[in-house]
Amino acid sequence: MNRSHATVVHEVSPYLSPYHPETRLSPEDSVAQPFHEWHVDGWHPED
Protein backbone atom coordinates (compact mmCIF):
# COMPACT_ATOMS: atom_id res chain seq x y z
CA MET A 1 0.00 0.00 0.00
CA ASN A 2 1.46 3.35 -1.05
CA ARG A 3 -0.55 6.21 0.41
CA SER A 4 0.46 9.82 0.01
CA HIS A 5 1.17 12.08 2.97
CA ALA A 6 -1.87 14.19 2.11
CA THR A 7 -4.12 11.13 2.25
CA VAL A 8 -2.81 10.10 5.66
CA VAL A 9 -3.15 13.66 7.03
CA HIS A 10 -6.71 13.81 5.75
CA GLU A 11 -7.59 10.47 7.34
CA VAL A 12 -6.18 11.30 10.79
CA SER A 13 -7.18 14.99 10.94
CA PRO A 14 -10.49 14.30 12.76
CA TYR A 15 -8.43 12.88 15.64
CA LEU A 16 -5.89 15.71 15.91
CA SER A 17 -6.16 19.19 17.35
CA PRO A 18 -3.80 21.84 18.77
CA TYR A 19 -3.11 21.56 22.49
CA HIS A 20 -4.37 25.11 23.18
CA PRO A 21 -6.54 26.05 20.18
CA GLU A 22 -7.50 29.40 21.73
CA THR A 23 -3.85 30.57 21.92
CA ARG A 24 -2.42 28.94 18.80
CA LEU A 25 -2.40 31.60 16.07
CA SER A 26 -0.32 29.83 13.41
CA PRO A 27 1.71 26.64 12.85
CA GLU A 28 4.83 28.53 13.97
CA ASP A 29 3.37 28.53 17.51
CA SER A 30 4.04 24.79 17.74
CA VAL A 31 7.73 25.05 16.77
CA ALA A 32 10.13 24.47 19.65
CA GLN A 33 12.37 27.31 20.79
CA PRO A 34 15.97 26.59 21.83
CA PHE A 35 16.54 26.80 25.57
CA HIS A 36 20.29 26.11 25.64
CA GLU A 37 23.29 26.71 23.39
CA TRP A 38 26.73 25.21 23.74
CA HIS A 39 29.86 26.51 22.02
CA VAL A 40 33.39 25.13 21.78
CA ASP A 41 36.18 27.71 21.72
CA GLY A 42 38.16 27.56 18.48
CA TRP A 43 35.67 25.33 16.60
CA HIS A 44 34.29 26.71 13.35
CA PRO A 45 31.91 24.41 11.44
CA GLU A 46 32.56 26.25 8.19
CA ASP A 47 36.27 25.22 8.23
1: pLDDT strictly greater than 60: no
How confident is the model at residue 47, as a pLDDT? Answer: 62
How confident is the model at residue 11, as a pLDDT? Answer: 92
Residues 6 or more apart whose Cβ sits within 8 Å of residue 30: 18, 24
How confident is the model at residue 28, as a pLDDT? Answer: 79
Q: pTM surpassing 0.75?
A: no
How confident is the model at residue 2, as a pLDDT? Answer: 67
- Tell me: the pLDDT tens digits for 3-46? 798 899 899 999 987 677 777 777 777 788 889 988 888 888 77
User: Which of 18, 15, 37 has its CA nearest to residue 27?
Assistant: 18
Residues 2-40 as b/e (b if ≥16 CB within 10 A, e otherwise) read eeeeeeeeeeeeeeeeeeeeeeeeeeeeeeeeeeeeeee
